[in-house]
Structure 1
Amino acid sequence: MRKVVIGLIMQIVAVCSVYAAEPVRIVAFGDSLVHGYGLPSDAGFVPQMQKWLDGQGISASLTNAGVSGDTTAGGAARVSWTLGDGFDAMIVVLGGNDTLRGLDPAQTRSNLNAILTEAESHKVAVLFVGMQAPGNFGADYKTKFDSLYPDLAAAHDVVFFPYYFAGIADRADNPAQLRLVMQGDGIHPNADGVAAIVAAMGPSVVELITQVRR
């Protein structure tokens, strides 16, 4: 009984610590999906996630380190100096441009592994966000690309959100519905799409913050 009570107390402390006064510093590290391509300054992923966390009463401060057009190679090249700013945690959203260009999944895996390893060396907690390849490069390519995300998440023991577009994935088979949440290029979400993505991913960001607070 005593162990059960202690366990419950520890869970309560972990949850309450998310709302502590000192904000957790989080860098959102990625490509145009993080940067906010084609959107007003207050409608991108970072400002909407910040607003979502604020609405939950959670003390966290997000910094936008998204670079439109960035590949995992670009991310690996800049991650060290990005993390030198003293962040507590990082959200990683990279790989979409790799698969749009048909780059070798083995290289994508190597680059993302380097990014996660660098985060470990800086003692920065990570929320690793998965991407999925389209089917136009074949089933083998898609299998290799899609599987590298859960593999790396398990290898590095990080918080994992399986698919960036999970919040709007239910519209994928309905083009009319999908258009309502996407920009005209069919690649980037519009403000409503970002809102749905943030709502789906938000609990994983809370999990990340909880991990930092422990």
Structure 2
Amino acid sequence: MKAVICSLALLLVGAMSATASHAQIVALGASNVEGYGVSAGEAFPAVLEAMLRAKGRNYSVNAQGVFGDTTSGVLGRLDSAVPEGTRTVILLIGGNDIRKGGTMQQAKAGYGEIASRLKARHIRVINAGPYYQAARKRGLTQGDGIHLTAAGHRYLASELLPLVN
């Protein structure tokens, strides 16, 4: 009986250690987070996770992108998309607000509300927008000029890597 209790205690300590060393990252947004037009393994969340693991970081990057989503859509699913235990959110949202008739001010306000709610939960927020825009300026988009190519996703992941590492 003593051996069983010791074994269970060791398993519990091991499980707690594994959880403590595992950082949860959520990539949150619309179609570029979803990986529209590329395979799931080529989308920046999967590429970033692979880059982190190659550096010995046991981080998971959960892609929570929904094609066509807006800041109000993200706000509506924020609690289910960003579970307890999430430490960092990579946020890439706002373009569809404008494409669907909203203003830049409305998109910024929606983005600000998302970031505020996450920060209130003590979750670090990384704005992926500037890195996405840099990929677009480099021509790393599909024919529509909006969605990133596989090379664009790799570029975005490489730019985000030092921010989450």
Q: TM-score, normalised by structure 1?
A: 0.62
Q: CA deviation at 1:50?
A: 0.8
Which residue among 129, 132, 142 is the counterpart of 1:183? 142
Preserved CA contact (<8 Å) 2:27 2:90: yes
The secondary structure found in structure 2 opposite 1:88 is strand
RMSD: 1.9
Preserved CA contact (<8 Å) 2:135 2:141: no
Paired with 1:25 and 1:56, the residues of 2 have a C-alpha distance of 16
Q: Unmatched 5+ residue regions in structure 2? A: 1-19
Preserved CA contact (<8 Å) 1:29 1:66: yes
Preserved CA contact (<8 Å) 2:45 2:157: no
The secondary structure found in structure 1 opposite 2:125 is strand
Alignment of 1:1-214 (within 5 A): 22-130=21-129, 162-167=130-135, 169=137, 171=138, 178=139, 181-206=140-165
Paired with 2:42 and 2:162, the residues of 1 have a C-alpha distance of 19
Deviation per CA, 1:122-173: give whole Å up to 9, x if none: 221111223xxxxxxxxxxxxxxxxxxxxxxxxxxxxxxx34232453x3xx
Deviation per CA, 1:22-58: give whole Å up to 9, x if none: 1210111111110000111211111111111112222
Runs of 4+ in 1 over 6 A off after TM superposition: none
How many residues in Structure 1 have an aligned counterpart in Structure 2? 146
Q: CA deviation at 1:205?
A: 2.3
Paired with 1:36 and 1:114, the residues of 2 have a C-alpha distance of 24
Preserved CA contact (<8 Å) 1:83 1:122: no
Paired with 1:103 and 1:183, the residues of 2 have a C-alpha distance of 24
Paired with 1:116 and 1:32, the residues of 2 have a C-alpha distance of 19
Q: CA deviation at 1:200?
A: 1.9
Paired with 2:114 and 2:43, the residues of 1 have a C-alpha distance of 23
Larger RCO of the pair (alpha carbons < 8 Å, separation 6+)? 2
Q: TM-score, normalised by structure 2?
A: 0.78
Paired with 2:159 and 2:119, the residues of 1 have a C-alpha distance of 26
